[in-house]
A and B are shown apart, each in its own frame.
Chain A
Amino acid sequence: MHKLVLRSVTKSYAAGSAVLKPFDLVAQAGELVVLVGPSGCGKSTLLKLIAGLEKLDDGQILLGERDITNVEPRHRRIAMVFQNYALYPHLSVRENLAYPLRRQKLRAADIVLKVSAVARQLRLDELLDRRPSQLSGGQKQRVAMGRAIIREPDLFLLDEPLSNLDAALRTHVRGEIRDLQRRLGTTMIYVTHDQVEAQTLADRLVIMRNGEVQQVGPPQEIYERPANIFAAAFLGTAPPNFLAGRIVDDRVEIGQASLPLADLPGECRTALAGREQIYVGLRPEMLRPTCDLDRDHFVLRGKVIRREIVGNSQNVHFRSEAGSADAAKLSALAGRHLSDELVWTTERAGTDDAVELGIRPESILFFDTDGVAIGAHGSDAL
């Protein structure tokens, strides 16, 4: 098992436009690290730099004990699965799997043995004589995985490997990849723009935006304590409801609603003291009807605009006086469009046209006006 270390890696294409600001990352031996972010955030470029397919401008890459910064791709002992699989269209599945072994000049008998072992492992036995053009998307994906694992590399790189599969298959293959990685114990860097995929797979997540790391940490930790508005909005089925608030005396005031600072956890209280303008984030799934809450809480009142029913839960869109007027600025901070509607995700079937919702104080996310989280958050040292 091998540890991957990136030290202040930088990369820019045309003069001026940096694709990666000085970038540091450590993937522990055997860890599955997911790089996630919107398209154009530099995550795929980073993968190519690690693979050696692109040359970095500056910095250092270590894999295990080796400095591979200037090593040719073929000598890096890294396997990569591409978004479009990049199977050799002129070769059969068998030959696709054997390709890396042939390049290593393995003996024919060993190649046959390894190919059949991998084929069995990935249920490709029946497909060995087919051409890639005769395979379904899921099958191609398995061949691509097979070609990656067959040479027992020090590191796996996966570049959006599921984006060409349909939704049902995606969930299934996701699980398979996770199991495979656990079984082999090989360090893996996985790139995706899909936050669900990212959360379900990752030991640790790296959230990226514009070539910069926003936050690194286990998915649950980032979900609970996002480092900034961008990270908060990126994870979760719907982004939190962001509202503008003020600190007046020892209360947080948001529109008509208010909450005593004394109700907040200690570190939050100290961090908030002395500030004026703030933003709060309320995750839709954390909101509860006030009648369910036993204490006096922060209360939002609003009128329901529409409902979306998703299976056994529904998203209730409502408008409240507390609704933020800063939609444009918040959208910029979040890197996605945020409307001034609020959302409540609930499993209740029938709801009234008027809602009265509260949230536990410890579930409220606080941000300063630059979108940076206030109070302790779970971001690792990079």
Chain B
Amino acid sequence: MTPLSAQKRAEARVGLMLAAPAILLLVLLVVLPVLATAGFSLTDYRLGTQAIGFAGFDNYAALWNDPRFWQSVANTATYTLIVVPGSVGLGLGAALLIESRGWLKPFYRVAYFLPVASTFIAMAIVWEFLMNPSVGLFNQILAALGLPSVNFLGNPQTALYSMAAIGIWELTGFNMVLFMAGLSAIPRDLYDASAVDGAESGWDRFRMVTWPMLGPTTFFVVIITMIRAVRVFEVAAVITQGRPEGATEVLLYSIYVQAFQYFNIGYAAALIVVFLAVTALIALAQARFGGQREANR
């Protein structure tokens, strides 16, 4: 061993030392639980019982044949597909609207961020109150306009969409803040350059400069929104309990019910594995697209 490689090893040692807390926590809090989940999913383990037996793929078979499982998958997917584009798009739009100077900027910033700082759960209550079919404000407004009342969260046709609307409201503000940070990092002279290159309208400038330069930010915002969207839970848990007719039954709620109400750990674990597999797929697709752009920066 030459002293030179000793120096490289010293660097490696310090690097590992610095990363150690993160690695430890990553293993303890993500890797271990995920492995444990995969393990549990092959058993018939129930919380509170001592016996634990190997069940093979029984849990997965049961999942496959459970219409409620399919409904919760479909609901979660629909919810995510509405909330992610909705809140990312609105967040970007709001950021672009506010970005152009003005002394009101901090005010707007706080306004959009308020929903983020407010707790999901408290706001779920507010929304339930607003969407209440008999006394809710929305229906009062509808009534005042001479329109029929809508049971937003009680009608299977509207419940999921109402929930998605709440989701967009909650997530947009944070996305806006992230986009504003991204916008402020775009060098001014790029806009001048694009003007020289013939960008005339605001749309041209957006297409030629803003959007490409926001690439990494968008990547980050989409990821973070997705994580927060797929774990939608509060409204389903506190207000609707999956009703009406399973219209608001979402994956995390199913997992919660199976694990902590029926203590059906094996079955819940299988649910989680499916969930992770799906997110892994989305992640890979994202990474191919976004990671490439990251690398090209």
Contacts and interface: CB of A to CB of B under 8 A. Distances in A.
Interface in A52-82: 55-58, 69-70
A57 B8 CA distance: 10
A70 B3 contact: yes
Nearest to B6: A70
B7 interface: yes
Contacts of A58: 4
Interface string A273-298: 00000000000000000000000000
Interface string B1-35: 00110111000000000000000000000000000
Interface residues of A, number: 6
A56 B3 CA distance: 11
A69 B2 CA distance: 12
A55 B3 contact: no
Most buried by A among B3, B4, B6: B4
A72 to B, nearest CB: 9
Give the size category of B's interface with A. under 10
A58 B8 CA distance: 13
Contacts of B3: 69-70
A335 B4 CA distance: 34
B8 to A, nearest CB: 6
Most buried by B among A56, A57, A70: A70
A117 B285 CA distance: 60
Contacts of A70: 3-4, 6-7
Nearest to A58: B4
Contacts of A55: 4, 7-8
A152 to B, nearest CB: 27
A69 B6 CA distance: 12
A21 to B, nearest CB: 17
A44 to B, nearest CB: 20
A45 B6 CA distance: 21
Contacts of B6: 70
A58 B7 CA distance: 12
Contacts of A57: 4
Nearest to B7: A55
Contacts of B7: 55, 70
Contacts of B8: 55
A225 B109 CA distance: 69
Contacts of B4: 55-58, 69-70
B112 to A, nearest CB: 29
A57 B5 CA distance: 8
A298 B8 CA distance: 60
A69 B4 CA distance: 8
A169 to B, nearest CB: 22
A281 B168 CA distance: 74
A57 B4 CA distance: 7
A155 B3 CA distance: 24
A60 to B, nearest CB: 10
B106 to A, nearest CB: 23
A372 B8 CA distance: 39
A70 B4 CA distance: 7
A13 to B, nearest CB: 13
A340 to B, nearest CB: 38
Nearest to A59: B4
B7 to A, nearest CB: 5
A8 to B, nearest CB: 13
Interface string B143-185: 0000000000000000000000000000000000000000000
A70 B10 CA distance: 11
Nearest to B5: A55
Given A55-B7, A56-B4, A58-B4, 8 more contacts: A55-B4, A55-B8, A57-B4, A69-B3, A69-B4, A70-B3, A70-B6, A70-B7
12 contacts: A55-B4, A55-B7, A55-B8, A56-B4, A57-B4, A58-B4, A69-B3, A69-B4, A70-B3, A70-B4, A70-B6, A70-B7
7 tightest A-B contacts by CB?
A70-B3, A55-B7, A55-B8, A70-B7, A55-B4, A56-B4, A57-B4
